[in-house]
Structure 1
Amino acid sequence: MAEYRINDLAEASGVSVRNIRVYQDRGLLPPPTIRGRAGWYSDQHLVRLNLISRMLERGYTFATISELLHAAHHGMRVEQILRGSPKGGRFRNFKRAATITIAELKKTLNASDRSIALSQKLGLLAKDGTHYAIRNPELLEGAEVLVKAGVDLEFLLDRWVRVQDDLEDVASSFVSIITDKYFDENLPDLGEAGVSEMADLIQTVRPMAHEIVETTFRRALDEQISQAIGRAATYFDATTGDDEPDSTTPNSSGDQPDPGYETTDIGTLNTDTGR
């Protein structure tokens, strides 16, 4: 995979260095990989720049391009974009090239030097002079809510790193569905047509993989939430059980007494109090 310094990327894409920086500030172009004091761009950046240029030529605004690129990255469809309603969280109200100071990070997120470094590694923040550019306001807002609830930020970010590593394996397994078909002893003779066919198939796999991962994770997350609430309900029942009548003991008429509870799969729900 080719690598570019920013001047080389500008020459290859026909986009000025200034505009490349503008696209980064507006969240349209991912930041480069930093090694030492140098920023290195990849072929993916070049492809993204070419796509942005074509969309601008067609009259799309920066806001629209940002939404469409985000949707494409996550394998979303147009109707999924339109279904969402605009949100006005504190961080989302920042201008697109929003920045935050170390003092603000420590105040709002109780951030340490390590958590700030992890946030940069994960693409949540990017160094911008003496400030940090906010790359994902939605995630930053969610992190703030959790921190206020007592969740340690480093614990959250460490879990994110672990998930990222796991998902890299998942992504590799999906791509290998196609590459295993082509990467064999015949690879040197694949030719331009074969490479094009392989690339098209990989692009076909992309939205399918997103849908599989999203659906599977949503189902697994719902199951884990139900189990967690069920355990909490069990503990609640155990602590209040001595004060409740024994609903398994028949009354004098032979019928079961009505304790005023509605049985659910996660415990008991008091229909009078809503608890």
Structure 2
Amino acid sequence: MTTYRIDDLAHAAGTTVRNVRNYQERGLLPPPRREGRVGIYDDTHLARIRMICRMQERGHTFATIAELLGAWQRGADLGDLLGLEKALTDPWDDERPERRTAAELLAAFGLPAADEAAATALERATALGLVRPDGDAYAVPSPRLLRVGAELVAAGVPLDAVLAVTARIREHCAAIAAEFVGLAVAHGHLGAPAGAAAYIDRLRPLAQQAVQGLMAEAMSGVVEAEVDRRIAGIARTREP
């Protein structure tokens, strides 16, 4: 298990040392293990902070978060609860967020920083959650997705079209995710924290493999259908 000092913990969670201390003072974060005068945190603390941050982003107050955590802890062993938090907040792959300046983001898509379209593109990308303002720069949650978009633009697809299809694909992915979670709920796998954590860990590779397999099959079928349509069109133009 990875261990952290408070500065490292705050950096890994994408927050500040002040916020970490605030969570501790409010009783939302378990105290660290002590080595002399130094507090040592671990992955369970990181998971708890990520969960708190996500709940805040969804509009929950500290009081609501404290009430929810208290209810969980009264109904389950603390270790089970922390295991569930880690399962919920761990990344679903090994991709790590990156930080880019506005100029770097725009350059990746061939846009000059002073261009009016550049400001509009950054606003749309922010609204889609593809980038997040982070001080004087931007956080990029998925550099892989950013590279895909840049490659499509380099291949001649307009940036507006890339952003539009990204929004639609995200909606489809949310529907797929809801189907998998619906299976878990319908069959009682998200009840007790310990069982839920184990199920979520097992679900990760299964969901990814299923989507990759079905996507490969669908792409093959759609591309073949488009090729057949083009061939049929050429044949018609050559008929006497």
Q: Which residue of 2 aligns with 1:200?
A: 198
Equivalent of 2:176 in 167, 170, 175? 170
Give distance in 2, aligned partners of 1:13 and 1:98: 33
Q: How big is the shift at 1:108?
A: 0.8
Q: Sort the Cα spacing of 1:178 and 1:210 in 2 relative to 1 into closer, same or farther, 3 A.
A: same
Q: How big is the shift at 1:214?
A: 1.4
Q: How big is the shift at 1:5?
A: 7.2
**Residue identity matched to 1:182:** G
Unaligned runs of 5+ in 1: 16-28, 37-41, 52-68, 74-95, 243-275
Q: Which residue of 2 aligns with 1:100?
A: 102
Task: Verify the 8 A CA contact 1:175 1:202 in the aligned structure 2.
Answer: no
Give the alignment of 1:181-260 within 5 angstroms.
181-182=187-188, 194-241=192-239
Q: How big is the shift at 1:216?
A: 0.8
**Residue identity matched to 1:233:** I
Greater fraction of residues in helix: 2
Task: Verify the 8 A CA contact 2:109 2:154 in the aligned structure 1.
Answer: no
Count of residues in Structure 1 that have an aligned counterpart in Structure 2 = 178
Q: Are residue 141 (structure 1) and residue 163 (structure 2) matched?
A: no
Q: Percent of aligned positions with the same letter in both sequences?
A: 21
Task: Verify the 8 A CA contact 1:127 1:133 in the aligned structure 2.
Answer: yes
Give distance in 2, aligned partners of 1:177 and 1:106: 40
Greater relative contact order (CA < 8 Å, ≥ 6 in sequence): 2
Task: Verify the 8 A CA contact 2:100 2:140 in the aligned structure 1.
Answer: yes
Partner secondary structure for residue 138 of structure 2: strand
Give distance in 2, aligned partners of 1:199 and 1:235: 54
Q: Sort the Cα spacing of 1:109 and 1:143 in 2 relative to 1 into closer, same or farther, 3 A.
A: farther
Q: How big is the shift at 1:133?
A: 4.2
Task: Verify the 8 A CA contact 1:175 1:205 in the aligned structure 2.
Answer: no
Unaligned runs of 5+ in 2: 1-13, 33-49, 60-64, 70-81
Partner secondary structure for residue 157 of structure 2: coil
Q: Sort the Cα spacing of 1:35 and 1:115 in 2 relative to 1 into closer, same or farther, 3 A.
A: farther
Equivalent of 1:160 in 162, 166, 175? 166
TM-score (norm 1): 0.47
**Residue identity matched to 1:174:** F
**Residue identity matched to 2:169:** V
Q: Sort the Cα spacing of 1:103 and 1:237 in 2 relative to 1 into closer, same or farther, 3 A.
A: same
Equivalent of 1:132 in 134, 138, 148? 138
Give distance in 2, aligned partners of 1:198 and 1:137: 29
Q: How big is the shift at 1:215?
A: 0.7
Partner secondary structure for residue 127 of structure 1: strand
Give distance in 1, aligned partners of 2:103 and 2:176: 35
Q: Which residue of 1 aligns with 2:93?
A: 71
Q: Quote the RMSD (CA, aligned, Å).
A: 4.7
Q: Which residue of 1 aligns with 2:40?
A: none
Give distance in 2, aligned partners of 1:165 and 1:220: 17
Give distance in 1, aligned partners of 2:179 and 2:210: 13
**Residue identity matched to 2:181:** V
